[in-house]
Structure 1
Amino acid sequence: MSVYYEDLSVSDTQSFGHYEVTREEILSFAEQYDPQWFHTEPERAAEESPYGGVIASGWHTAAVTMRMLVDAVLSDAASVGAKGVDELRWPAPVRPGDVLTCENEIVAKEPEHPERGLVHAKTETFDQDGRRVFSMVGLVMYRRRDGGA
């Protein structure tokens, strides 16, 4: 059963996910999409970076978050995509071996069109120590039940 715009309420919150980030995945993603040395050169990163070792690209963290969000929330949603994201942040680095989990909260809703509404959903990702490593507010379009009639 799909979750429609009308089924969501401001302050609805879900916690979900369990994703272990590997060194190999960090290096592979960075080589292809964000080849900055502190993502791709572990030895140099350990010696020269302020992070003390290789870290995941923020875009990698965003992609992992999106995967967990789709699996836990959007796969059952009457979502028709998103208009973008606001407040995209990477407050702490993700390192090899970190285990990530997410929390998603509906922070606002607006009926945008007779057939859909816009949902502002704040998604935060945390490491195994509860440190926030990612956050964004997604502007997600949800179909309205019966076309808003």
Structure 2
Amino acid sequence: MRFAEFHPGQVIEAGPYVLSEEELVRFAKDYDPQWFHTDAEAAAGSAFGGLIASGWHTCAIAMRLVVAAALEGSESFASPGIERVRWPSPVRPGDALRLVADVIEVRRSGKRPTLGILLWRWRLFNQRDQMVLDAEVTSLFRLEAAAN
């Protein structure tokens, strides 16, 4: 989507993305090697009752879905960050994750008119409609100079 296509109140949906146990463990071994992400036997005896995905993996899946649904081919070039991120429910092997992205604000920078700023809320839900990610994200877009 192009920057001009975003508007406050807009809802963008994507998915599902099915997370395999193999992918969950591989990501965790590389980037978040805590036992409850990497050791199925130990995780079975945990409070979670089994393996759970790293929250950072959950964020990466959301990013993949956002790119596929909205950012691919756009003027997006960076993000100054995430205002908040929460993982209210764990992601488990076999979960089918669905993105719901709500556009909150769309504006041109007052100081840099060739900079578009998009504030949006990304939520991921599993196949049971449990929210597994809730994040408020800012995306930046490189735009042409505004007409005078």
Q: How does the TM-score come out when normalised to structure 2?
A: 0.92
| Native 8 Å contact 1:116 1:142 kept in 2 | yes
**Structure 2 partner of 1:125:** 124
Measured in 2, the distance between the counterparts of 1:81 and 1:122 equals 16
Q: Quick one: percent identity of the two aligned structures?
A: 36
| Native 8 Å contact 1:116 1:148 kept in 2 | no
In structure 1, stretches of 5+ residues that fail to align are none
Q: Moved runs in structure 1, 4+ residues, more than 3 A?
A: none
> SS where residue 76 of structure 1 aligns?
coil
RMSD of aligned residue pairs (Cα, Å): 1.3
- What is the Cα deviation at residue 15 of structure 1? 1.0
In structure 2, stretches of 5+ residues that fail to align are none
Measured in 1, the distance between the counterparts of 2:77 and 2:53 equals 29
Measured in 1, the distance between the counterparts of 2:126 and 2:6 equals 27
Measured in 1, the distance between the counterparts of 2:95 and 2:5 equals 34
Measured in 2, the distance between the counterparts of 1:110 and 1:82 equals 15
Q: Which amino acid aligns with 1:20?
A: V
**Structure 2 partner of 1:105:** 102
**Structure 1 partner of 2:20:** 22
Asked if 1:46 is matched to 2:44, the reply is: yes
**Structure 1 partner of 2:77:** 80
| Native 8 Å contact 1:15 1:103 kept in 2 | yes
> SS where residue 89 of structure 2 aligns?
coil
Which region of structure 1 is more displaced relative to structure 2, 51-60 or 112-121? 112-121
